[in-house]
């Protein structure tokens, strides 16, 4: 099996803060891989280095063997990326954005507009197709970003917190998109705070904490590592990030405060 993502000994600092600290992991072709971690763990930073948007201090990141630092355009060709922060031209409409992306990527016009029309229909997005981005809700902007990421049939989808701000129906569609992409042989790297989503969807997860990868594997493997047999991913996550005691203390304090 070839590797969709290969990150080796990656280090990235902002001044004195080491945001990603000697992290290595791989995402196999056809795999849904989740990066989990508390706020500020370094998930977005690792993804931005992989996308070639940030330079690493040391270590390497590759997508299907293409180096993120040496050939960031090559990486962008292979990846459909939905960033955490929505960067869309506010004065354009989604239709204009999709057409712009198709032309920059030099995609065949007829086939691409058919594909976009199918996505627009599947995501119940017709009403917003010709509305200015500035007028869209967060969830609808997320849909526009998702369609933008899928237009060029990427082999790898990279989704940074794809479920934040989505309503139930849209979150469900997002899950379907991810699963169908993987069923068709595509690979997925997603970051999430939502343990139930990771548990239900990811073949393997990596847990980042303060820039360090503290564990990587299937849920079963992580249960073994954390010695939490039969536990939910949430319990395993709290154990591996050493937050179990803090959560317990917090609950006791809350009980007192709310009494």
The residue ranges that bind ligand ATP (CB under 6 A) are 14, 17, 19, 37, 39-45
Asked if 9 and 24 count as a contact pair (C-beta separation under 8 A), the reply is yes
Closest approach, Cβ 40 to ligand ATP, in A, equals 4
Q: Which is nearer to ligand ATP, 135 or 138 (CB)?
A: 138
Per-residue CA distances from 156 to 57, 72, 231 (Å): 25, 14, 30
Phi-psi region of 48 (alpha: psi -120 to 50; beta: other; left: phi over 0): alpha
Go through 143-155 and write b for each residue having 16 or more CB atoms within 10 A of its CB, e for each that does not: bbbbbbbbbbebb
Closest approach, Cβ 44 to ligand ATP, in A, equals 3
Q: Which is nearer to ligand ATP, 116 or 188 (CB)?
A: 188
Q: Which is nearer to ligand ATP, 30 or 52 (CB)?
A: 52
Q: Which is nearer to ligand ATP, 37 or 154 (CB)?
A: 37
Q: Which is nearer to ligand ATP, 74 or 83 (CB)?
A: 83
Sequence-ordered list of residues with C-beta below 8 angstroms from that of 157, at least 6 positions apart, any chain: 79, 80, 81, 82, 149, 150, 178, 181, 186, 187, 188, 189, 190
Sequence-ordered list of residues with C-beta below 8 angstroms from that of 49, at least 6 positions apart, any chain: 10, 12, 20, 55, 56, 61, 68
Closest approach, Cβ 18 to ligand ATP, in A, equals 9
Q: Which is nearer to ligand ATP, 17 or 180 (CB)?
A: 17
Closest approach, Cβ 195 to ligand ATP, in A, equals 13
Q: Which is nearer to ligand ATP, 54 or 102 (CB)?
A: 54
Closest approach, Cβ 15 to ligand ATP, in A, equals 7
Q: How long a stretch of residues is the chain? A: 259
In degrees, to the nearest 5, what angle opens at C-alpha 47 toward C-alphas 164 and 68? Answer: 150
Cβ atoms within 10 Å, residue 100: 13
Closest approach, Cβ 72 to ligand ATP, in A, equals 18
Closest approach, Cβ 222 to ligand ATP, in A, equals 18
- Tokens at 85, concatenated: 């922060």
Which has the closest alpha carbon to 44: 19, 79, 68, 69? 19
């Amino acid at each position: 099996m070839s590797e969709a993502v290969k990150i080796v000994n990656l280090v990235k600092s902002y001044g004195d803060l080491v945001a990603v600290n000697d992290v290595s992991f791989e995402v196999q072709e056809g795999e849904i891989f989740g990066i989990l971690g508390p706020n500020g763990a370094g998930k977005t930073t690792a993804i931005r280095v992989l996308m070639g948007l940030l330079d690493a201090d040391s270590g390497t990141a590759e997508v299907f063997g293409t180096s993120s630092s040496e050939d960031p355009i090559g990486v962008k060709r292979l990846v459909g990326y939905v960033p955490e922060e929505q960067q869309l031209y506010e004065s354009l409409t989604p239709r204009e954005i999709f057409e712009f992306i198709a032309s920059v990527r030099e995609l065949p016009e007829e086939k691409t507009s058919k594909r976009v029309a199918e996505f627009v229909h599947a995501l119940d997005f017709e009403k917003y197709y010709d509305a200015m981005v500035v007028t869209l809700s967060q969830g609808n902007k997320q849909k526009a970003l998702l369609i933008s990421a899928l237009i060029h049939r990427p082999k790898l989808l990279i989704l940074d917190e794809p479920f934040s701000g989505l309503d139930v129906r849209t979150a469900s569609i997002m899950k379907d998109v991810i699963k169908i992409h993987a069923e068709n042989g595509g690979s997925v790297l997603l970051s999430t705070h939502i343990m139930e989503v990771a548990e239900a969807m990811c073949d393997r997860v990596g847990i980042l904490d303060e820039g360090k990868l503290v564990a990587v594997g299937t849920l079963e493997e992580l249960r073994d590592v954390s010695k939490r047999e039969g536990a939910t991913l949430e319990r395993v996550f709290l154990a591996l990030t050493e937050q179990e005691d803090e959560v317990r203390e917090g609950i006791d304090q809350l009980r007192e405060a709310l009494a």
